[in-house]
A and B are shown apart, each in its own frame.
Chain A
Amino acid sequence: MTFQVFMQHLANGISLGSLYALIAIGYTMVYGILRLINFAHGDIFMIATYVAFYGVMLLGMQLWWIAFPAAIIFTYFFGRLVERAAYRPLRNSPRISVLISAIGVSFLIENLAIVIFGGRPKAFPIPSIFNKIIQIGDVSIVSITFFIPVITLTLLVGLVYFINQTKTGMAMRAVSKDYEAARLMAIDVDKIISLTFGIGSVLAAVGGIMWGLKFPQLVPLMGLMPGLKCFIAAVVGGIGDIRGAVLGGFILGLGEIMLVAFLPALTGYRDAFAFVLLIVILLIKPTGLMGQKLTEKV
């Protein structure tokens, strides 16, 4: 393998890793607060991509800078709606019911999407700014490959600032530490949880739109695989920890690309890589690479 080819793979791996990281953060935030795998996260991602697609269809290609933010705002409210409808009524139920509800709402969204958007694949419109080919030496890279890590990093910095420095962020951390105590400190727990879902959905929406720009084919079940993989990224990094989600996302993205690059014979097993990684991590270090050890309360 020549150096150029390796650099090309590396750039691809980093941009895929950033995408995974961005979506994994949404999982990790929700898990940190509710101790719940939000199975619908992948579907929120899918909805965002479709809304962006229809926005561009409606407004025209030139106005993508209106359509994409509009889709992100829509997804923010959609995420909160999902939380309100499927998770809030089960706040005091056993975890297994909440988990089934999460799977149920995920299937509901998928099936609704099949009915509303149709099952036929759609081509995502790519504004020309994301489609330029950039030459660095002998390595040629599509500009979206650069945009993805930059946007991810910007959002990440903003998010870390929000969580660590603002009052709402502090409330979020309090809720994830102890639910009841946070409520006694006059924090509106429901509002904070809803907001967390909203932020997670915004990240999923940004991830979804960039996913569409990178892999421009939309189908109603497109959220399933990335959703599962990003959850795995969150678990590998240590669920509940934002740095962990980013680390997990990069390990997964780079690992997948490098597996195919170095061992072409295993290309068919690309989708299994994430699951093998998950099981290895769960068996060796169940709390993930950066997770803290939880003690079981009797």
Chain B
Amino acid sequence: MKKGRLVLNIIAIALFIGLLFLFRMTFDSYKMKILNLCGIYIILGLSLNLINGFTGLFSLGHAGFMAVGAYTAGLLTMSPAMKEMNFFMKPIVPFLAEVEWPFFPALLMAGVISALMGFLIGSPVLKLKDDYLAIATLGFSEIIRVIFTNTQSLTNGALGLKGLPIYTNIWWSWGAAIFTILFMVFLIKGSYGKALKAIREDEIAAEAMGINLFKHKVMSFTMGAFFAGIGGALLGNLLGTIDPNMFRFVLTFNILLIVVLGGIGSITGTVISAVVVTVAMEALRVLDETVNLGFVTIQGIPGMRMVIFSILLMIVILFYQQGLMGTKEFTWDWFFNGKGFRKTLKKEVK
């Protein structure tokens, strides 16, 4: 990175932090919550994009990793008194009963445990390809959910956990989001990123070039799981309650929607679409409610919002397969000269 660019990047981040201060002063708590969700969805979208977009592994197991992260952070940060209140069916396992960690180590632990799960799951299933991989990862995410529903003394089963301390604020969510963005940018620009993209384009050719396929795939999968765990932990400590049914396939689908709309394999695209989708999901709640315009009342139809989103996704898939950004990224050159986005290798259509 050239020195001028570095200065520009730092200025941009500083400006953005200033903007966050401004939002914090002017927004009410509802808007702040949406802002937090934007940051969290950026993390989740980027982590899925690393696996699906940059490495070309079609994984549908994100909800499972998020569940692991959310439960880890939740159990570590909850106060012992709160735990006693939650676990009235069966007492909690002794080694967790008295634990109360600050948020940062709990967050890291959530990522690490989730990454460990990713590693354990990834090592066997990454031998599979395409749709087999998709269905196997989906299977694992369902297994995690079923296990969490049944381990009463560890996760409180189907009752879920209530009264998680609300640690997540915009500094945590957006701090983690900015860290994730920077991490991804450096990762993708570096030699590892090039290797991952080579695997995406052509596995056999990549292997012939001396790339250890299995090692890189497992690495990408584990890192994706790490950030998914962080995202899940932030989400859990933002909402204050978690239960296994939150982490159904629909959640993975929402993140997939963000990745596809933004462009599979573009960091910029994912960031933009994460913000747009999160805000739009809230804004379109209007569709579910009855609107009274004074002279005419439009009857809202509950559930219409998700129909609109599904149709939107189908239109993008059928007509704009590249999504918002394709595989292009934002650059300062484009910003100053309007010379067009930096072109990266287009995905070969077979």
List the interface of chain A (C-beta within 8 A of B): 36-37, 86, 89-90, 92-97, 99-101, 103-105, 107-108, 111-112, 114-115, 119, 224, 228, 231-232, 235, 268-269, 271-272, 274-276, 278-279, 282-283, 286, 298
Contact = CB atoms under 8 A, between A and B. Distances in A.
B303 A269 contact: no
A272 B310 contact: no
B204 A100 contact: no
Interface string B317-329: 1100100000000
Contact of B143 (A86, A96, A276): A276
Interface string B56-73: 101000000000000000
22 contacts: A36-B131, A37-B131, A37-B134, A89-B318, A94-B350, A97-B321, A99-B130, A99-B131, A100-B317, A103-B256, A107-B250, A107-B313, A108-B310, A115-B304, A119-B302, A235-B132, A268-B149, A269-B146, A275-B142, A278-B136, A278-B139, A282-B136
A269 B321 CA distance: 39
A223 B137 CA distance: 20
A101 B317 CA distance: 6
Contacts of A108: 307, 310-311, 313-314
B198 to A, nearest CB: 16
Contacts of A92: 349
Most buried by B among A36, A235, A268: A268
Given A89-B318, A228-B138, A272-B146, A104 B132 contact: no
B142 A272 contact: yes
Interface in B135-159: 135-136, 138-140, 142-143, 146-147, 149-150
A266 B182 CA distance: 45
Contact of B140 (A37, A93, A279): A279
B214 interface: no
Nearest to B249: A224
B142 A298 contact: no
Nearest to A119: B303
B246 interface: no
B253 interface: yes
Contacts of B125: 279, 282-283
Chain B interface, DSSP helix/strand/loop, else mixed: helix
B264 interface: yes
Contacts of B314: 86, 101, 104-105, 108
Chain A interface, DSSP helix/strand/loop, else mixed: helix
Given A268-B150, A283-B124, A232 B301 contact: no
A114 B139 CA distance: 25
A90 B318 contact: yes
B307 A115 contact: yes
Contacts of B304: 115
Nearest to B131: A37
B124 A286 contact: no
B253 A103 contact: yes
Contacts of A97: 317, 321
Interface of B: 52, 56, 58, 124-125, 127-128, 130-132, 134-136, 138-140, 142-143, 146-147, 149-150, 204, 249-250, 253, 256, 260, 264, 301-304, 306-307, 309-311, 313-314, 317-318, 321, 347, 349-350
Contacts of B260: 100
A220 B309 CA distance: 17
Most buried by B among A92, A100, A271, A286: A100
Contacts of B140: 275, 279
A137 B16 CA distance: 78
Given A36-B131, A96-B58, A101-B314, A272 B143 contact: yes
A70 to B, nearest CB: 26
B224 to A, nearest CB: 16
Closest 9 A/B residue pairs (Cβ): A275-B139, A108-B310, A268-B150, A272-B146, A111-B306, A114-B303, A115-B303, A111-B307, A104-B313
B204 A298 contact: yes
Given A86-B314, A103-B256, A275-B146, 4 more contacts: A96-B58, A232-B135, A235-B132, A278-B135
A36 B132 CA distance: 10
Contacts of A90: 317-318
Contact of A232 (B128, B130, B139, B147): B139
Nearest to B146: A272
A269 B150 CA distance: 7
A92 B128 CA distance: 23
Contacts of A298: 204
A112 B147 CA distance: 31
A216 to B, nearest CB: 23
Given A86-B318, A95-B131, A232-B139, A272 B147 contact: yes
A279 B131 contact: no
Nearest to B132: A282
Contact of B132 (A86, A107, A275, A286): A286
A269 B149 CA distance: 9
A104 B146 contact: no
A100 B307 contact: no
A94 B302 CA distance: 35
Contacts of A100: 256, 260, 317
B349 A279 contact: no
Nearest to A225: B142
A119 B302 CA distance: 9
Contact of A268 (B146, B301, B307, B313): B146
B258 to A, nearest CB: 12
Nearest to A277: B139
Most buried by B among A36, A95, A108: A108
Nearest to A101: B317
